[in-house]
Structure 1
Amino acid sequence: MVRRKPLKLAAQDADDLAVISAALQDAVAQLGDLRFDRRRRRFTAVLNRFRWEDKGPGQAWRTRSALDFSSVLSASSKRLKQDSPGAIVSLLAVTFEPGETPGGRVRLSFSGGGEMQLEVECIDALLADISVPWPAKGRPSHETPE
């Protein structure tokens, strides 16, 4: 059964960010929906999130979600086609590498080796569902090496 209550999570440290990362595993987005606003020092991403919290057999669900980071000093990317805003990416993980306390680097890792790196003054993130869930075409699976 689908849980209709929207998910809303905040992160202020690496442990909190790990929870957001788990909720976003296998989320998909268009590259044009990943944006850095240098003037506002804010990075936002709008993604179609797989609802891992809806456990059990039966229908799987996705929902539109917004991820927001404040206090972002800079953003860079590797192996992402920035000139292709319609290109689809699949998010694997969101991690934090400490730097000068409380800052560091937030890394968004995508399938195929692409990544976004955010230099942040501190971890200040919010993940919120912004749509009603819809049936997913399938459940993401990850092959484990033998």
Structure 2
Amino acid sequence: MSINRPLKPALLRGWRRCCPSCGKGALLYKYLKVHDSCDACGQELHHHRADDGPAYLTILIVGHILAPLLHVVFVQFRPEPWIMALGFGVGSVALCLYLLPRIKGGVVAFQWARRLNGFGAEASGNVLKTQ
């Protein structure tokens, strides 16, 4: 049985888009690509399986932030429809672009902290061997 790594520091490092192990090396390059390993500590990062999870979480968070705000703005101020569409369109794109790499960093850091998808195999020596 493998022991989990500290979750909170790993998530904070992932949010900052840094290596979840040391916090010094960069986790991402080219906006959303994950490095194969950390430049600072050598931690292998190619095990991650973030897939579509960060995108779904980003949409969920942005929707939960902007939907109530859309309602409040419409009820309180009654702006023209084109102003609301332009404002909330730009706001949603900007918020998505800000959150997506940070959430991806958090997902990769969560996988590292919980030793998911091969992140624990190299530390414990439990590499699966084919027969």
- The two structures have a TM-score, normalised by structure 2, of 0.27
Bigger strand fraction: 1
Structure possessing the higher relative contact order (Cα contacts under 8 Å, 6 or more residues apart): 2
Larger radius of gyration: 2
- Normalised to the residue count of structure 1, the TM-score between the two structures is 0.26
